[in-house]
Structure 1
């Protein structure tokens, strides 16, 4: 008797399900999930609470931290111009980190049950109706540690603040691209570009806030979807 292939039940928590998809994982991970409130991740209510935050909480919590970090740099002797350049540098570093995380972690090709659950959980959590406000805590350490030792003590806080500002921009932009309806301008271009990645060419177009690194690393898609109504 041939057993039926495993299918994810969206009426149940998806974490610990997707790891069982086997060879069907690559196909499933690129399908749109349309639910009113987004899929539930965990059966445990406390764990589920930690994965969900209203979109506006992200800038509300982290933008004051960005300002505080920049103030530290100016108090340590950086001029406003130097602090601004450090922030821009941090944003630039973030765009590369954003690209690498999306390409090599969220789209990791693995047979590992646990890695599939983790990668898909993070990928989905940033495109549903809520956002994880705790994410900067996990990403701050690898971002901040190099800045402490690679740059002056004065510039390090502003540099990290720029990276954090880049993260906030990325998080809110990603949410908007999935739930907003831009009719023209750069927002429309970004939404078309991102939906092209999700629904047409999943191995291209890994940039969220910018396509610069897709151009640099040769992953800029040759074609774009014309319909951005999803």
Structure 2
């Protein structure tokens, strides 16, 4: 995709963007801490932690891993006709693609985290009508979400030579630099394999001078 001048929140109203984005995972941690506290309170207030709660927690983990893929592929990478919607959505991922050296949009902010949490909480509570199980499910969501935020930040932080971060860095940055239409998973390749967007050529990709210059540790 050719780089062109962008019109979105990141380029026209960076102060507003600061409410929708975070500088790093530590900032995200302090934003989600009240949510975690409330969820734990709801769980423990109602008979404590049991098997059903643990299953709901695992379902929450699983659901976020799928949501991460779905949102990345079918929201962030769709060019919507509505100009206002594009102005908002392209402030994050598309801007991130085209301005890899701007790290202000790597993690989500207050006005993304809390509305999204309320939507998930509301949907699950309507389906289960059970506050502890809903809280356990959402706790799983939050845990995997925070894992996702850490992974996304650190794979843009420095070059990794081995292990999980070496794999996911090559996988994710191949999506950025080589093929926008594949490898949408930010923490796993599982859903790309399921939905047919897995591109094995990421294994041959390596970070060159340009890619390394965009890493946080090089700033």
TM-score, L = length of structure 2: 0.77
The equivalent residue for 2:39 is 69
* Alpha-carbon distance in structure 2 between the residues aligned to 1:118 and 1:43: 10
Q: How does 1:154-173 map to 2 (within 5 A)?
A: 154-173=132-151
1:7 deviation in Å? 4.1
Indicate if the aligned counterparts of 1:129 and 1:179 stay in contact, CA closer than 8 A. Answer: no
Given the alignment of the two structures, is residue 228 of structure 1 paired with residue 197 of structure 2, yes or no? no
Matched, 1:175 2:172: no
After alignment, is 162-171 or 120-129 more displaced? 120-129
Q: Does 1:133 align with 2:109?
A: yes
Residues 1:15 and 2:12 aligned together? no
Relative to structure 1, the CA distance from residue 180 to residue 150 in structure 2 (aligned partners, 3 Å threshold; closer, same or farther) is farther
Report which of the two structures shows the higher radius of gyration computed on alpha carbons.
Answer: 1
Query: How far did residue 156 of structure 1 move?
Result: 0.7
Task: Look up the match of 1:145.
Answer: 122
Question: Match of 1:92, SS?
Answer: helix
In structure 2, C-alpha distance between the alignment counterparts of 1:205 and 1:83, rounded to whole Å? 32
- 1:139 and 1:88 map into 2 onto residues whose CA distance is 19
| 2:42–2:131 Cα contact (<8 Å) kept | no
Change (3 A) 1:48 1:155: closer
**1:196 maps to 2:166:** no
CA spacing shift, 1:201–1:79, aligned 2, 3 Å: same
3-state secondary structure, aligned to 1:204 = coil
Provide TM-score, normalisation by structure 1.
0.74
Q: How far apart, CA to CA, are the structure 1 residues paired with 2:177 and 2:87?
A: 21
- State the structure with bigger RCO (CA 8 A, min sep 6), 1 or 2: 2
Match of 1:34 in 2: none
In the other structure, the counterpart of 1:119 is 89
Corresponding pairs, count: 198
Aligned-residue offset at 1:205: 0.9
* Alpha-carbon separation, structure 2, partners of 1:142 and 1:65: 13
1:44–1:174 distance in 2 versus 1, CA, 3 Å: closer
Instruction: Give ranges in structure 1 of 5+ residues lacking alignment.
Output: 1-5, 17-39
Task: Kindly indicate whether the alpha-carbon contact (under 8 Å) linking 1:95 and 1:166 is maintained by their aligned counterparts in 2.
Answer: yes
